[in-house]
Amino acid sequence: MMVHRKKKPALVIVAVLTLLCIAPTLAVNAKQERKLRFRQNGEFKILQVADMHFANGKTTPCLDVLPSQVAGCSDLNTTAFINRMISAEKPDLIVFTGDNIFGFDATDAAKSLNAAFAPAIASNIPWVAVLGNHDQESTLSREGVMKHIVTLKNTLSQVNPSDAHIIDGFGNYNLEIGGVKGSGFENKSVLNLYFLDSGDYSTVPSVPGYGWIKPSQQFWFEQTSARLQRAYMSKPAAQKAPAPGLVYFHIPLPEFAYFDQSNFTGVRQEGISSASVNSGFFTTMVAAGDVKAVFTGHDHVNDFCGRLTGIQLCYGGGFGYHAYGKAGWERRARVVVASLEKTEKRGWGDVKSIKTWKRLDDEHLTGVDGHVLWSKTSSDS
Ligand SMILES: *[C@@H]1O[C@H](CO)[C@@H](O)[C@H](O)[C@H]1NC(C)=O
Ligand SMILES: *[C@@H]1O[C@H](CO)[C@@H](O)[C@H](O)[C@H]1NC(C)=O
Ligand SMILES: *[C@@H]1O[C@H](CO)[C@@H](O)[C@H](O)[C@H]1NC(C)=O
């Protein structure tokens, strides 16, 4: 009651609160102007760049190339490869799945990150990045790297979601891809992208090896997936099944080891370097019900996709020249394209299929292993 009588202080408080609120609102609006949606041709294309391992640029040598390719090979070849991929595919979004820089060899983390992402920035195409286990080994911490990334031009990356008060890691966020402008799905997110920080190394003394996606992150994922599904399946234009989801992070899940030649597309040329414990995130995604595919990096000479319990588990394939690889086995990148259903009335409907292929960094950017990851009719039960 007393508070209500103190009119002046209340007004001052309101004024201050208003000022405090305006700035973030403007920032959010600026972000929304870059809202992603399907193109008028009913497609949305994503280029995944895994493990650039960028360091200092032209003074940083290439690893695991043929003896004849050693001379004149550096980080600049990684840059040239991204530029070629962007011109060949003209993606709608570029996703960097960690180990963007190889911190141990980068003298200045910010400079290395700027150079690593420069082709994406110059292309004017929206791009995002998550962290690997090597990004923090230079002059910036994991938090510092992610905070630097979000300041770069054209990125839709976020340090962490504003609706999660406590969350492990840096670089957990989601993106909603709207239906075609002017179609019945123009106000619906018809494709949902989730990005998570899979950590670097275990901090639990009794658990050796790599990090994993923690319960706080899984909880945020569950809440976000549930919220998106509720919106999609409510009026207006209530849908019967959730919109498909795609999940991007760095370190593969233990479930990537459940495949062999008989049930994957691509190659497995090294072990699956997941955490030594199972975080349960695969089960969390299966239970959520919307995720159709997961894309990781980390193991540079594995590039397969295999389907388990309705979810495709895919590697991007090693991209960077200062990353270990296999001499004579080309650096590569994965492309994913989601296609909408063509409808009579309003042009374009919801997502009908999701396809993938890879391109090799050879003379012709040869496309390989093209296949369907998911389609509404065959696997949406
Ligand atoms: C690296 O780039 C140089 C300069 O364009 C080129 O001559 C060389 O063939 C490239 N090396 C590889 C392994 O692609
Ligand atoms: C989408 O939202 C806009 C703005 O509220 C509205 O004008 C338009 O009719 C909506 N489209 C559909 C298909 O509901
Ligand atoms: C793949 O096939 C092998 C047998 O060749 C089998 O042991 C394994 O369970 C299969 N994996 C999946 C995910 O279906």
Ranges of H-type helices in the chain: 2-5, 7-33, 75-89, 109-123, 142-149, 215-232, 281-288, 376-379
Among the residue ranges 11-25, 159-173, 281-295, the one predicted with the least confidence is 11-25
Q: Is residue 3 part of a domain?
A: no
State the Cα torsion 73-78-83-85 to the nearest 10°.
Answer: 110
Q: Is residue 97 part of a domain?
A: yes
DSSP state of 131: -
| Residue of 186, 232, 346 to mutate, ligand 2, most atoms within 8 A of C-beta | 186
Q: What is the CATH number of the domain that holds 195?
A: 3.60.21.10
Structural domain of residue 204, as residue ranges?
A: 39-379
Q: Which atom of ligand 1 is nearest to the CA of 74?
A: 1
Q: How far is the CA of 341 from the centre of ligand 2 (A)?
A: 20
Whether 346 is in the pocket of ligand 2, judged by its Cβ within 6 Å, is no
Distances (CA, A) of 12 to 8, 15, 80, 213, 327: 6, 5, 55, 44, 67
**Residues in a beta bridge with 360:** 332
| Residue of 69, 85, 322, 361 to mutate, ligand 1, most atoms within 8 A of C-beta | 69
Q: For residue 366, name the pLDDT band (cuts at 50, 70, 90).
A: very high
Mean local confidence (pLDDT), 310-337 = 98
Q: Is residue 105 part of a domain?
A: yes
Ligand nearest to the CA of 346: 2
Quick one: which H or E segment has residue 336? strand 332-343
Whether 154 is in the pocket of ligand 1, judged by its Cβ within 6 Å, is no
Q: For residue 69, name the pLDDT band (cuts at 50, 70, 90).
A: very high
User: Are 237 and 185 a contacting pair, CB within 8 Å?
Assistant: yes
**Structure token digits, residue 267:** 């190659």
| pLDDT at site 34 | 61
User: Which residue CA neighbors atom 13 of ligand 1 most closely?
Assistant: 69
| pLDDT at site 253 | 98
Q: How far is the CA of 290 from the centre of ligand 2 (A)?
A: 25
Give the pLDDT confidence of 181-234 residue by residue, as tens digits. Answer: 999 999 999 999 999 999 999 999 999 999 999 999 999 999 999 999 999 999
| Tokens 């994406």, residue located | 120
- Pairing state between β 245-248 and 189-195: parallel
Taking each helix axis as running N to C, give the angle between helix 109-123 and helix 142-149, from 0 to 180 degrees, rounded to the nearest 10.
30
Among the residue ranges 54-58, 131-135, 236-240, 292-296, the one predicted with the least confidence is 236-240
Q: Is residue 311 part of a domain?
A: yes
Q: How far apart are CA 180 and CA 188, in angstroms?
A: 9
| pLDDT at site 83 | 98
User: Are 19 and 27 a contacting pair, CB within 8 Å?
Assistant: no
Ligand nearest to the CA of 304: 3
Q: How many domains does the chain have?
A: 1
Exposed/middle/buried for residue 121 (C-beta within 10 Å: 0-12, 13-18, 19+)? middle
| Residue of 255, 256, 259, 265 to mutate, ligand 3, most atoms within 8 A of C-beta | 259
Share of the chain above pLDDT 90, in %: 87
Mean local confidence (pLDDT), 355-360 = 98
Q: Is residue 157 part of a domain?
A: yes
Sheet arrangement for strand 332-343? 127-130, 93-97, 43-49, 332-343, 347-360, 367-375
| pLDDT at site 163 | 84
Q: How far is the CA of 31 from the centre of ligand 2 (A)?
A: 20
Model confidence at 265: pLDDT above 50: yes
| pLDDT at site 164 | 80
Helix-then-strand count for the chain, H and E: 8, 13
Give the pLDDT confidence of 115-148 residue by residue, as tens digits. Answer: 999 999 999 999 999 999 999 999 999 999 999 9
Q: Is residue 225 part of a domain?
A: yes
Ligand 3 binding pocket, CB closer than 6 Å? 258-260, 262-263, 306, 308
**Residues in a beta bridge with 144:** none
Contacts of residue 351, Cβ cutoff 8 Å, sequence gap at least 6: 190, 191, 243, 244, 338, 339, 340, 341, 376
User: Are 306 and 108 a contacting pair, CB within 8 Å?
Assistant: no
Q: Which atom of ligand 1 is nearest to the CA of 66?
A: 13
Give the pLDDT confidence of 298-318 residue by residue, as tens digits. Answer: 999 999 999 999 999 999 999
Give the pLDDT confidence of 16-59 residue by residue, as tens digits. Answer: 444 444 444 444 444 445 689 999 999 999 999 999 999 999 99
Q: Is residue 9 part of a domain?
A: no
Q: How far is the CA of 313 from the centre of ligand 3 (A)?
A: 13
Q: For residue 14, name the pLDDT band (cuts at 50, 70, 90).
A: very low
| pLDDT at site 168 | 98
Ligand nearest to the CA of 345: 2
Q: For residue 165, name the pLDDT band (cuts at 50, 70, 90).
A: confident
The whole-model pTM stands at: 0.91
Model confidence at 85: pLDDT above 60: yes
- Average per-residue pLDDT for the chain: 92
Mean local confidence (pLDDT), 89-106 = 98
| pLDDT at site 11 | 41
**Residues in a beta bridge with 107:** none
Whether 63 is in the pocket of ligand 1, judged by its Cβ within 6 Å, is no
Q: How far apart are CA 312 and CA 298, in angstroms?
A: 17
Whether 184 is in the pocket of ligand 2, judged by its Cβ within 6 Å, is yes
Model confidence at 73: pLDDT above 70: yes
Q: How far apart are CA 2 and CA 39, in angstroms?
A: 57
User: Are 322 and 53 a contacting pair, CB within 8 Å?
Assistant: yes
Q: Is residue 301 part of a domain?
A: yes
Q: For residue 346, name the pLDDT band (cuts at 50, 70, 90).
A: low
Exposed/middle/buried for residue 95 (C-beta within 10 Å: 0-12, 13-18, 19+)? buried
